[in-house]
């Protein structure tokens, strides 16, 4: 065997990498490896992460390799080491540690590697062992499986604790327990101090969870391993980790695959395909190169030698500025959530995965492609809270309320309770919209109204804050309906500047409007510094809003649809959506409900529907719209449905008069 090269500490590794970089500013080959076969550079991981070496830029993930059979799995590991991989990522729950250890030992015997120290090995503590007294025993068991004296990186797999038992997946919701993060991290620090883990870190931690951890950690996490790829770019988390000296490792760098879809959002991306064709590279290489240029390492999964080689062929070329700009504009959606590792009955994990849309204005997280409307008359706080919890269990992450609805408090309570139960990793997983009512639609009342909404919600911010209607009413208690004589001229400039102030203060991640026509939007855009991210309007197959949708698409404004299933019977008429014979025929032919056909049609228009249901079964059905499509014939039939608007200002605000008179009074300068 060759003489062993000493490992460098993280701090000295960082200095070495600073002194030995390429002209493009990229880190060179990891100084902790022999360099004989490794073809991947490395990244320093965390200035205080312990005495570990640099993290190789590309590693082999083993989460799914066990399913190919033990011999094929072992062959893939050996092939990866032979072509130059020096990072192998495993976990106690994967059941792959033993084979990983055997493969590394076998590679050393065959001379593929000089010794075990050439390979950077990561493993993780699973939720069932995420208890202060079980962390160290779990690592000792992993080391026994790996037949190693230490691992290079030991991670907390998820910020979640489950009743102690053998690692298993998926897990029952009722087994979730409060996590003693301080106690767990102290046990992780002990693993490092004993020399059993050269570095310690976390996985699937949000910025909020990292802040909580950093508040008491003596040894900060060296790494945060998260889902990251061009379709889920994690910009805020990346910025936070960079500022705190925490290295990011990407899993699902090539997109993964949903159980509910045959589409891989990364490998099937038209943007990435176009860039790959122009550069003579594969789509996978474009994705991996993009991740590398973000300063993140990654773990990929493949059993084929040619793909393994292809995945590390990303270091001798670069993306152009134009390529990076195109990738930055790819619509975002997340594959993995807490729901994906939980199930209500111990059977299959939750299969519903909701796509997300990037809002082009503001800095809100991507908006889930379907939301739950939280407005019911009459209702009680208890009924609303229970309905929201049921929606969270079903998979909803987008909730739409308003100051007028009187549901902000129970919505906030339900989200807080879901976080305590582990249904949500943190409040950040929920996308919350609220709205400014007409009586507060005055420049000096906008910010106080949002602050009151935040107190009701018990939140520090909302993801989206909307002007409910382009109408101002004399200040006073929120009432509905509003008297026509109380309507006053709407100050577009003053009200919108106050909305922009809400955004600048960080109280609203994005701001927008509701019930705005193209004419209203023209007036607003003429004075706006920050453009509205969303226009929420009545929309369904019976009121298709083509003109508004085309206008908003041209201006980069996302449309959200209320009354997607036809809405309330405001004047005693039937529901033209749910009673549509056209939709009924399509629903029968497709084996779907009329509601699902309507919601799917709205989704296919690039619009976010906000259905309202407090019924558990209907909540589930409202999410089951993403793994099938309408046919061209279906879409043609729907396009020919006679149009009829349900919600008008006349019905909302002026039961005893026509809106024309109000229009003249409020918008006389149009």
Domain positions in the chain are: 53-339, 346-574+607-615
Question: CATH homologous superfamily of domain 53-339?
Answer: NADP-dependent oxidoreductase domain (3.20.20.100)
Q: Give pLDDT, residue 425.
A: 73
For 368-420, what is each residue's pLDDT tens digit? 999 999 988 777 999 999 999 999 999 999 999 999 999 999 999 999 998 88
Query: Is residue 175 within 8 Å of 146, Cβ to Cβ?
Result: no
Q: Give pLDDT, residue 423.
A: 80
Cα angle 618-623-627, degrees, rounded to a multiple of 5: 130
Q: Among candidates 558, 180, 202, 548, which has minimal Cα distance to 366? A: 558
Q: What is the end-to-end Cα distance of the chain in Å, rounded?
A: 84
Give the whole-angstrom CA distance, residue 555 versus residue 516.
14
61: Cβ–Cβ under 8 A, 6 or more apart, which residues? 89, 251, 299, 300, 301
Give the whole-angstrom CA distance, residue 348 versus residue 329.
34
Query: Is residue 226 within 8 Å of 205, Cβ to Cβ?
Result: yes
Residue 225 DSSP symbol: E
Query: Is residue 433 within 8 Å of 401, Cβ to Cβ?
Result: yes
Q: Give pLDDT, residue 412.
A: 97
> Per the structure block, which two tokens stand in for 535?
């226009």
For 14-23, what is each residue's pLDDT tens digit? 322 322 223 3
- Host H or E run for residue 203: strand 197-203
**Residue from 85, 94, 150, 405 carrying the catalytic annotation:** 405
| Helix axes of 181-193 and 135-146: crossing angle, nearest 10 degrees | 40
Q: Give pLDDT, residue 646.
A: 73
Give the whole-angstrom CA distance, residue 335 versus residue 460.
26
Q: Give pLDDT, residue 263.
A: 63
| Helix axes of 594-604 and 632-639: crossing angle, nearest 10 degrees | 90
Q: Give pLDDT, residue 618.
A: 94
Is 614 designated active site? Answer: no
Q: Give pLDDT, residue 659.
A: 35
Give the whole-angstrom CA distance, residue 382 versus residue 224.
38
Do 346-574+607-615 and 53-339 have the same topology in CATH? yes
- Give every residue of the chain whose pLDDT is below 70, as ranges: 1-39, 45-52, 65-68, 257-263, 336-352, 568-573, 647-670
Question: CATH homologous superfamily of domain 346-574+607-615?
Answer: NADP-dependent oxidoreductase domain (3.20.20.100)
Residue ranges with strand state E in 332-450: 342-343, 356-357, 367-368, 372-373, 398-400, 431-436
| Helix axes of 408-421 and 446-457: crossing angle, nearest 10 degrees | 40
């Amino acid at each position: 065997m060759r003489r062993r090269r000493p490992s460098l500490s993280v701090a000295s590794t960082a200095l070495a990498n600073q002194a030995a970089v390429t002209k493009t500013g990229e880190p060179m080959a990891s100084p902790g490896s022999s360099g004989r076969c490794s073809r991947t550079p490395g990244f320093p991981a965390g200035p205080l992460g312990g005495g570990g070496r640099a993290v190789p830029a590309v590693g082999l993930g083993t989460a799914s390799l066990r399913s190919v059979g033990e011999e094929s799995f072992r062959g893939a590991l050996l092939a990866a080491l032979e072509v130059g991989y020096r990072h192998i990522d495993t976990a106690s729950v994967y059941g792959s540690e033993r084979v990983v250890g055997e493969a590394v030992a076998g590679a050393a015997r065959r001379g593929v590697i000089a010794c075990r120290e050439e390979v950077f090995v990561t493993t993780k503590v699973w939720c069932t062992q995420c208890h202060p007294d079980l962390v160290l025993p779990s690592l000792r068991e992993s080391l026994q499986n790996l037949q190693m004296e230490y691992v290079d990186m030991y991670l907390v797999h998820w910020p979640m604790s489950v009743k102690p038992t053998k690692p298993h997946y998926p897990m029952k919701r009722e087994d979730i327990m409060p996590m003693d993060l301080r106690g767990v991290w102290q046990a992780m620090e002990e693993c490092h101090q004993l020399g059993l883990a050269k570095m310690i870190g976390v996985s699937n931690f949000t910025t909020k969870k990292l802040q909580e951890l950093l508040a008491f950690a003596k040894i900060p996490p060296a790494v945060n391993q998260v889902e990251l790829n061009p379709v889920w770019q994690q910009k805020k988390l990346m910025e936070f980790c960079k500022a705190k000296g925490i290295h990011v490792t990407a899993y699902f760098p090539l997109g993964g695959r949903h159980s509910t879809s045959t589409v891989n959002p990364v490998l099937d991306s038209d943007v990435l395909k176009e860039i790959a064709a122009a550069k003579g590279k594969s789509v996978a290489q474009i994705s991996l190169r993009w991740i590398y240029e973000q300063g993140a390492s990654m773990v990929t999964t493949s059993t084929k030698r040619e793909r393994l080689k292809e995945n590390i062929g990303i270091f001798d070329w670069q993306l152009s500025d134009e390529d990076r700009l195109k990738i930055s504009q790819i619509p975002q959606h997340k594959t993995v959530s807490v729901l994906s590792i939980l199930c209500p009955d111990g059977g299959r994990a939750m299969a519903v995965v909701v796509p997300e849309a990037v809002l082009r204005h503001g800095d809100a997280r991507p908006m889930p492609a379907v939301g739950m409307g939280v407005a019911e008359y009459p209702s009680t706080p208890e009924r609303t809270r229970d309905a929201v919890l049921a929606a969270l269990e079903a998979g909803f992450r987008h909730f739409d309320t308003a100051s007028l609805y009187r549901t902000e408090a129970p919505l906030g309570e339900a989200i807080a309770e879901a976080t305590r139960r582990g249904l949500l990793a943190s409040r950040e997983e929920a996308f919350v919209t609220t709205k400014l009512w007409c009586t507060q639609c005055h420049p000096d009342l906008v910010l106080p109204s949002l602050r009151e909404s935040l107190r009701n919600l018990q939140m520090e911010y909302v993801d989206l804050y909307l002007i409910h209607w382009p109408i101002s009413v004399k200040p006073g208690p929120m009432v509905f309906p509003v008297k026509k004589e109380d309507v006053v001229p709407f100050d577009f400039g003053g009200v919108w500047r106050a909305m922009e102030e809400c955004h600048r203060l960080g109280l609203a991640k994005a701001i927008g409007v509701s019930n705005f026509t193209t004419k209203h939007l023209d007036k607003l855009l003429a004075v706006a510094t920050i453009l509205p991210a969303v226009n929420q309007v009545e929309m369904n197959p019976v009121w298709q809003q083509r003109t508004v949708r085309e206008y908003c698409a041209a201006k980069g404004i996302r449309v959200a649809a209320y009354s997607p299933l036809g809405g309330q019977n405001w004047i005693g008429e039937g529901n033209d959506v749910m009673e549509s014979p056209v939709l009924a025929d399509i629903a029968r032919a497709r084996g779907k409900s009329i509601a699902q056909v309507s919601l799917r049609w709205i989704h296919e228009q690039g619009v976010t529907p906000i259905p309202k249901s407090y019924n558990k079964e209907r909540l589930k059905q409202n999410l089951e719209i993403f793994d099938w499509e309408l046919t061209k014939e279906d879409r043609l039939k729907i396009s020919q449905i006679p149009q009829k608007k349900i919600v008008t200002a006349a019905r909302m605000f002026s039961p005893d008069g026509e809106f024309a008179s109000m229009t003249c009074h409020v918008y006389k300068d149009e």
